[in-house]
Amino acid sequence: MAERPRDLYSRLDEVDAPTLATIAEVLELRGRHPQQVAIRESYLDLLRDLAGKHVLDLGCGTGVATRAIARRVGPTGCVVGVDPAPAFVARARALAEEDGLANVTFEVGDGRRLRFPDGEFDSALAVTVLSHLPERVQVMAELARMVRPGGCVLVMDGDYASNQIEHPDRAITDRIVAAWRASVVDDPYLCRRLVPVVANSGLEIEAVCGHVHVEAGKLDEATSFIWQWCLFALRQALAANAVTEAEGAAWIDALRAMNASGTMFGSVNYVSVLARRP
């Protein structure tokens, strides 16, 4: 059996600059969407009062969640964002500076081997990270090590096996979504095992919550996360030769016709797990 190709997000060091820039734009576009803002506030609320706390955001990307946490910890707290991609870290620093956030720092790091001592943080997060990493057990062990006794670990990820997009050509849609999953998500079913994965790192589960991002009707192509996800998924499918250029063009034309008629529909499910170090 041929070895499964590595997830795009687990090999960012091999990705060209234009692709990295595109991914960074999609991360920020997703983060700005009102539904994603509500989802983010919902899972961060699980951490309760963060004022004055020392928090780690592992796999921070461009710093969408990190900036939200920085506002919650306030001037007496601090947040450290860690990501393996220098391009993402540079973008995260620039965006935090634009927002005037002086209580947040970003650095390049490997989630499997973090440089910090045991119990360095009050809380640690990994947002849409573990599903992309084959070494998720090792990363979870590091997250558990990072927090002090009594400290919290919050893991939030997508149930990417259940992504939905309505389209008249179901066969082509299935091929596009399958190619996207194969290239971008190491384990699309992880959310269904997320509770034991977190618990097996020695943490005590305190809360499990579900979140859903749904867009329906007529979407703004420039700001819609679902629309941009469709374009991104198609690019992955074309790169994998899962569809032809003609099939891809026809698929997008049909989506645009649906959008013009106000019949678009797409959704992504997420699960968040809050746990505490004994």
Q: What is the CATH number of the domain that holds 24?
A: 3.40.50.150
Name which of 181, 185, 175 is nearest 248 in CA terms. Answer: 175
The whole-angstrom separation of Cα 92 and Cα 63 is: 5
Residue 5 confidence (pLDDT): 61
Domain contains 14: yes
**pTM confidence score:** 0.93
Domain contains 254: no
Domain contains 263: no
DSSP class of residue 58 equals E
Domain contains 223: no
Write out the chain's pLDDT in tens, 278 residues. Answer: 345 566 777 677 777 888 888 888 889 999 999 999 999 999 999 999 999 999 999 999 999 999 999 999 999 999 999 999 999 999 999 999 999 999 999 999 999 999 999 999 999 999 999 999 999 999 999 999 999 999 999 999 999 999 999 999 999 999 999 999 999 999 999 999 999 999 999 999 999 999 999 999 999 999 999 999 999 999 999 999 999 999 999 999 999 999 999 999 999 999 999 999 99
DSSP H helices in the chain: 17-32, 34-45, 64-73, 86-98, 136-146, 170-184, 194-199, 225-239, 245-260
Domain contains 49: yes
Question: Domain limits at 85?
Answer: 8-158+186-212+268-276
Contact assessment for residue 152 and residue 26, using Cβ atoms and an 8 Å cutoff? no
Residue 2 confidence (pLDDT): 45
Crossing angle of helices 34-45 and 64-73, in 10° steps, is 50
The whole-angstrom separation of Cα 4 and Cα 223 is: 33
The whole-angstrom separation of Cα 156 and Cα 273 is: 6
Q: Which residues, in sequence order, are bridge partners of residue 105?
A: 80
Contact assessment for residue 139 and residue 49, using Cβ atoms and an 8 Å cutoff? no
Tell me the C-alpha to C-alpha distance, in Å, between residue 142 and each of 15, 28, 58, 111, 114.
25, 26, 10, 7, 7
Domain contains 246: no
Domain contains 248: no
Contact assessment for residue 65 and residue 57, using Cβ atoms and an 8 Å cutoff? yes
Q: How many domains does the chain have?
A: 1
Domain contains 69: yes
